[in-house]
Structure 1
Amino acid sequence: MRHAVPLIGLLAAAAPVVAGAGPAAARPPADPPAPLTARTGAGARPGSVAYRGVRVPVPEGWEVVRLDREPSRCARFDRHAIYLGRQGDGAGCPARAVGRTEAVHVEPLDGPPARRTGAVRAGRLARHSVPVTDGREDVVPLPEAGVTITGAYGTDRAALERVLRGTRLRARWTAEPVPPRGDEPVPPKAGAPAPRSEVRAKTRTWVRAKGFDTCTAPSLKAMAAWRRAYGVANIYIGGASRGCAQPNLTRAWVRAVRGMGYRLIPTYVGLQAPCSRYKTRFTAQNASAQGARAAADAVRDARALGIPRRKPIYFDIEAYRSRDTECRRAVMRFLHSWTRKLKAKRYVPGVYSSVTSGIRDLGAARGTARPTAVWYAHWDGVPTVYGDRYLPDRWWPPHRRIKQYRGGHRERHGGVTINVDSNTVDGRVY
């Protein structure tokens, strides 16, 4: 999940501490949502937009983004929008985007449309119900229309349901050219077998390397282009606050990227602290129960991607007002349950947070189960995991730390530019 919004969400004006960059450091304001003026494609009726085999209603105030025609745009679920087409490598996705609202992504399926049936024409979507899920996401394949519809919701599931129920199949349509996915398997280069040290590194529970995280999993071609520069990449596997669409993130993608030699940081972006800036939050009353639910859902997401037991999953708890005692205690109860449930499921519990809120609070807390590993944000530009003034070296040694030392910025490797956060890794990975 996790970034045009700074990795550690901007705290309320009343809070003197800006997490992630240190208490005294000023953090640039979060990017405000772009003005959402509904735009419709050529030939679409007012209030709707046509794409391949479907016509989708456009609620008032929602933007329509044609990704095939606007390759610099990113499919984000933290703002109201209808996204049409396939997101490319040139998409200007932020390094982090946390939070979720109602949005829809209509993506083309490869190949010709499936044969339509009378039952489909009669209104398959008109009766569709959006399920209540921890990930707050609904995927609707429509092979007869040549598309898959992914819908996200934050606090208004009914709004997403109205859009999906109002979507209609078109009697006739001409398939637009479908750009390549960019995630075709990258064949390994012929040559000598990998050195024994490299084979050991791929199976070791921890690694020391340079890492990056970005909002949406890049294509396999982009990952191959970046391999010489980085050995570790983060992936946002699920959660109610995962802010970007993940069209590339599949079991096959994970297998292929690991085959390139990458190690991965599986991260779940779930409900946020009661005193955070996000709308998708747990409460002081349900913190413990929601922590356990988040762990169970994260395990389901990890298994769907082929991530086996005994591997780490990090919970992304964004910055919150640590001085708010009730809120801090709620966060500790949530993370206590997260840690215990993941251990019970035989996964390695990890936590990502600001060094001046979630990580420092976990280290100082008594009676709270500590995660096995931590990933902390301190944007001081220093790529070392020890010697941080907010995180004593005796906490989480050895090989159990990842530090995010630089926030969102653009880098170019192998001809591919991506907006990323920079990390130094001496910790648990997959």
Structure 2
Amino acid sequence: MRHAAVLSGLLGVAGVASFVTGLQPPTARPEAVPAAALTQARTAQYRGVRLPVPDGWDVHRLDLDPARCVRHDRRAIYLGRPGPQPDCPARLFGGAETLHIEPLGERSGDAASAQRRRTPVVRAGKLARFTVRENVGNRVRIELPEVGAVVTGVYGGDPLALQSVIRSIRLAGKWVAEPPPRTRGGGIARDESTAATLNSEDSEWTKGKGFDTCTAPSLRAMAAWRRAYRIANIYIGGASRGCAQPNLTRSWVRAVRRMGYRLIPTYVGKQAPCNMDAFRVHFKAEAAAREGRRAAADAIAKARALGIPPDRPIYFDMESYPSGKTRCRRAVLTFLDNWSRSLEAQNYVSGVYSSASSGVRDLGRAKGITKPQAIWFAQWDNKAKAYGGPYLRNRWWHPHRRIKQYRGGHREKHGGVALSVDNNYVDGRVY
């Protein structure tokens, strides 16, 4: 990425991201979620279960954050099995709608058996008509054997608020969740042993240092660099992609993953309309929504051709732009909104690369749009860490959804092979 210099002193869109994890104020009597809110929301996915996330709801991945407490005092969706020792407050009072989706058949014992006997088994075609009836426990449990998942819902004062969310669930084919890496004591693994485990080809995210270079290196070069790095970017397509890719094929992807690499698939499409001087290919502001959808469709086709399956990320490379120009900023956010919506509709993880001080900060501050599930930001301060910078709030894209490009173009040599690369620190989604 050759134009990733961080700009400072630019104005952004005010406000806090609607889906960022954080405290939600309690409501006296939650109302049913309006259909319009559901259709505009981003999508949560677990196994074969997909549902739009209503405004004001948080989403938590328990397999990636096993100490997370499944709380019923704030509207949230929890995905995966909880850890052995959740970090919960000493006193807590429910009253908000929550949804917990976890693998089917995880529980054991007499209580679980009794619960299963009175649990409805719902087929895909009946979810849209499911009725949440009031009961003494203010909860409902639904088994979805088609995807090996069970949904547990809790409502506050009005079951309709939960019912509208359940009715929005769609089954989109089976997705097998990998178990989180654990130590012998049952806790989540850490440090170097964690890095090796998380780098398995089936895990959704990984940690460690990576590099990106304009064209996919030869297999010989990738093998020579393997001792120094285990994460690499690939530019899979786009109108602004700067280099030919003679090495980048489906067999190349398979080969480098067998070497132990994790990959960051990136699509370099048309750039911001106010970047005409810096980039030859740009989209018009009035066509931002359509161009965002078109870019996503092409990126998905390119990813599939390389054997990159759904549930994996594709990052759009939106290079630095003058975000202080309101019309330009709005056009970029509209473009990226439609990019993310379109990717998630096809079960891919939406990602965005941009400068920390323009595209990524604007996304973090924006309201009323579908935000990417993962971000990759350029901040060339030579600090290999994903948090603590001046532009991004730490609660944005947390946990394990960040990649930081911390050093720009330079030459490195490993195993006798020299390449011009940027450096990245990864604590986020990869293939």
Match in the other structure for 1:248? 247
- Kindly report which structure 2 residues correspond to 1:396-407, keeping only aligned pairs within 5 A, or say none: 396-407=397-408
Long gaps (5+) in structure 1:
9-18, 25-194
| Deviation at residue 279 of structure 1 after TM alignment | 1.7
- Which contiguous aligned blocks of 4+ residues in structure 1 show a shift greater than 4 angstroms? 21-24, 195-200
Match in the other structure for 1:267? 266
Query: Helix, strand or coil for the counterpart of 1:327?
Result: helix
Match in the other structure for 1:289? 290
| Deviation at residue 310 of structure 1 after TM alignment | 0.5
Match in the other structure for 2:315? 314
Q: TM-score, normalised by structure 1?
A: 0.56
Match in the other structure for 1:229? 228
| Cα gap change, 1:199 to 1:408, in 2 (>3 Å) | closer
Match in the other structure for 1:7? 3
Q: TM-score, normalised by structure 2?
A: 0.56
**What fraction of aligned residue pairs are identical, expressed as a percent?**
63
Counterpart contact for 1:22–1:355, Cα < 8 Å:
no
Answering whether residue 300 of structure 2 is matched by residue 304 of structure 1, we say no
Q: Distance in 1 between matches of 2:400 and 2:317?
A: 19
- Kindly report which structure 2 residues correspond to 1:298-377, keeping only aligned pairs within 5 A, or say none: 298-377=299-378
Q: Distance in 2 between matches of 1:393 and 1:199?
A: 22
Deviations 1:91-136 (A, max 9, x none): xxxxxxxxxxxxxxxxxxxxxxxxxxxxxxxxxxxxxxxxxxxxxx
Counterpart contact for 1:21–1:380, Cα < 8 Å:
no
| Deviation at residue 215 of structure 1 after TM alignment | 0.3
Match in the other structure for 1:53? none
| Deviation at residue 218 of structure 1 after TM alignment | 0.2
Deviations 1:147-171 (A, max 9, x none): xxxxxxxxxxxxxxxxxxxxxxxxx
Q: Distance in 2 between matches of 1:273 and 1:355?
A: 16
Counterpart contact for 1:273–1:331, Cα < 8 Å:
yes
Q: Which amino acid aligns with 1:20?
A: V
- Kindly report which structure 2 residues correspond to 1:175-186, keeping only aligned pairs within 5 A, or say none: none
Query: Helix, strand or coil for the counterpart of 2:406?
Result: strand
Match in the other structure for 1:137? none
Match in the other structure for 1:158? none
Q: Which amino acid aligns with 2:252?
A: W
| Deviation at residue 347 of structure 1 after TM alignment | 0.2
Q: Which amino acid aligns with 1:204?
A: S
Match in the other structure for 2:51? none
Counterpart contact for 2:374–2:401, Cα < 8 Å:
yes
Q: Distance in 2 between matches of 1:199 and 1:206?
A: 7
Q: Which amino acid aligns with 1:269?
A: V
Query: Helix, strand or coil for the counterpart of 1:307?
Result: coil
Answering whether residue 387 of structure 2 is matched by residue 394 of structure 1, we say no
Counterpart contact for 2:7–2:358, Cα < 8 Å:
no
Match in the other structure for 2:237? 238
Long gaps (5+) in structure 2:
11-192
| Deviation at residue 20 of structure 1 after TM alignment | 2.2
- Kindly report which structure 2 residues correspond to 1:45-124, keeping only aligned pairs within 5 A, or say none: none
Q: Which amino acid aligns with 1:246?
A: Q
Q: Distance in 2 between matches of 1:305 and 1:208?
A: 23
Q: Which amino acid aligns with 1:358?
A: G
Q: Distance in 2 between matches of 1:420 and 1:20?
A: 18
Q: Distance in 1 between matches of 2:305 and 2:396?
A: 32
Match in the other structure for 2:184? none
| Deviation at residue 368 of structure 1 after TM alignment | 1.3
Q: Distance in 2 between matches of 1:200 and 1:422?
A: 18
Q: Which amino acid aligns with 1:359?
A: V
Q: Distance in 2 between matches of 1:22 and 1:333?
A: 22
| Deviation at residue 198 of structure 1 after TM alignment | 4.2
| Deviation at residue 7 of structure 1 after TM alignment | 3.4
Query: Helix, strand or coil for the counterpart of 2:398?
Result: coil
Query: Helix, strand or coil for the counterpart of 1:242?
Result: coil
The size of the alignment, in residue pairs, is 246
- Name the Cα RMSD after superposition: 1.6
Counterpart contact for 1:267–1:313, Cα < 8 Å:
yes
Counterpart contact for 2:209–2:231, Cα < 8 Å:
yes
| Deviation at residue 203 of structure 1 after TM alignment | 1.1
Query: Helix, strand or coil for the counterpart of 1:201?
Result: coil
Q: Which amino acid aligns with 2:398?
A: P
Query: Helix, strand or coil for the counterpart of 1:310?
Result: coil
Counterpart contact for 2:341–2:370, Cα < 8 Å:
yes
- Kindly report which structure 2 residues correspond to 1:168-179, keeping only aligned pairs within 5 A, or say none: none
| Deviation at residue 202 of structure 1 after TM alignment | 2.1
Q: Distance in 1 between matches of 2:359 and 2:331?
A: 11
Counterpart contact for 1:22–1:378, Cα < 8 Å:
no
Counterpart contact for 2:198–2:206, Cα < 8 Å:
no
Answering whether residue 20 of structure 2 is matched by residue 20 of structure 1, we say no
Q: Which amino acid aligns with 1:377?
A: A
Match in the other structure for 1:219? 218
Q: Distance in 2 between matches of 1:326 and 1:389?
A: 24
Q: Which amino acid aligns with 1:386?
A: Y
Counterpart contact for 1:21–1:377, Cα < 8 Å:
no
Query: Helix, strand or coil for the counterpart of 1:203?
Result: coil
| Deviation at residue 275 of structure 1 after TM alignment | 0.7
Deviations 1:357-406 (A, max 9, x none): 00000000011111000000000111100001110101000000000000
| Cα gap change, 1:199 to 1:317, in 2 (>3 Å) | closer
